[in-house]
Amino acid sequence: MCADRPLKVALFGSGRIGQVHARNIAAHPDLELAWIADPFIEGAKKLAAGTGAKAVQTADEVFENSDLDLVIIGSPTPTHVDLITRAMENGVAALCEKPIDLDIDRVLACRDKIAGTSVPLMLGFNRRFDPNFASIRARVEGGEIGRLEQLTIISRDPAPAPVDYIKSSGGIFRDMSIHDLDMARFFVPDIIEVSATGANVFCDYIEEAGDFDSVVISLRGAGGELITITNSRHSAYGYDQRLEAFGSEGLLSAGNVAPTTVRKYTAAGTEESDAYLPFFLERYVDAYRNELDSLVQAVRGGTSCSPNFDDGLQALVLANAAEESARSGRAVKVGEQ
């Protein structure tokens, strides 16, 4: 790695999340998007055309470059373990989107294989970098509301994902709830018990796929903290993202975000405002940028990343426990793997 030039980056995946990363990499003053890799080469070429990157089809074409500094892994989940392993073995820093894998045994095997490496590796739990959530967490850590007693996290998508995505997603707990499970660990790292319940109330094809469209998860921390996560695959009023931290001396909360703070007051209604931001691409714009900044700082400084591989592993452990609880109807004790 050369300190007097931008870091050379390869992006795996040219789909929706890949396009987000491509824009942010291209706009970052300390990064150069050099390669975009995707077996669907037309997608890679289209994205590369607007960034100056070279479109390639295979990982081999990426890792053969000795001046590669960083990879962003936004490709499908089954590719994550192999790409993480190759990056670490080649001494290349990486950011990988969640989950590491749907199979816990593959994740544990990957951990063993890369154990001992000091190369920065970040997991894409971007919500930790949302300014609102990060501020609440810092203020809780600072003791502003005393001892944390309860944490409430609400996350509802505007509409269900397409049926083909649902079938390969790994289910709502591993696909959607995993972000909120990581957020729970961001505030309460030591979770000892998981209870969950799921329902099918509005989407036939999700039920046909053997998954739930609505879930509620209850977690217990080692210090007695109680955490409630509410998830739904639909929300008639837009992307619903809220968080509330309740402590012995007060409460901190973060509400939904709208394009403006303008309110309308008429005889027909009061406090009328713009609709909430439509989905994660708009809601978490700042979070994705802050995530990338944090990664660059770690790479330049040779320091570890947060969230890291272990955070990805522990979030999957909790997701699996939630699935088990919802299917069995009983609470599941958990411990760190």
Average model confidence (pLDDT) across the chain: 96
pTM of the model: 0.95
Q: Tell me, which fold does domain 7-119 have in CATH?
A: Rossmann fold (3.40.50)
Per-residue pLDDT for 281 more than 90?
no
Beta-strand runs (E) in the chain:
7-12, 31-37, 54-56, 70-73, 93-96, 121-123, 148-156, 191-199, 214-221, 226-232, 240-247, 250-254, 263-266, 269-273, 332-333
Q: How far apart are CA 91 and CA 94, in angstroms?
A: 10
Q: How far apart are CA 11 and CA 43, in angstroms?
A: 12
Per-residue pLDDT for 234 more than 90?
yes
Q: How far apart are CA 123 and CA 74, in angstroms?
A: 11
Residues of the chain with CATH 3.40.50.720: 7-119
- The pair of three-digit structure tokens given for residue 306, joined into one six-digit string: 């947060």
Is residue 182 within 8 Å of residue 151, measured between CB atoms? no
Residues of the chain with CATH 3.30.360.10: 128-286+315-333
- The pair of three-digit structure tokens given for residue 110, joined into one six-digit string: 């990957």
Query: What is the DSSP secondary-structure string of 67-135?
Result: T--EEEE-S-GGGHHHHHHHHHHTT-EEEEPSPS-S-HHHHHHHHHHHTT--S-EEE--GGGG-HHHHH
Q: What is the pLDDT of residues 237-270, one digit of tens each?
A: 999 999 999 999 999 999 999 888 899 999 999 9
Q: Which pLDDT band, with edges at 50, 70 and 90, does 32 fall under? A: very high
Strand partners for 254: 243
Q: How far apart are CA 146 and CA 22, in angstroms?
A: 41
Q: How far apart are CA 161 and CA 167, in angstroms?
A: 10
Per-residue pLDDT for 40 more than 90?
yes
Per-residue pLDDT for 49 more than 80?
yes
Q: What is the pLDDT of residues 161-180, one digit of tens each?
A: 999 999 999 999 999 999 99
The CATH number of 128-286+315-333 is 3.30.360.10
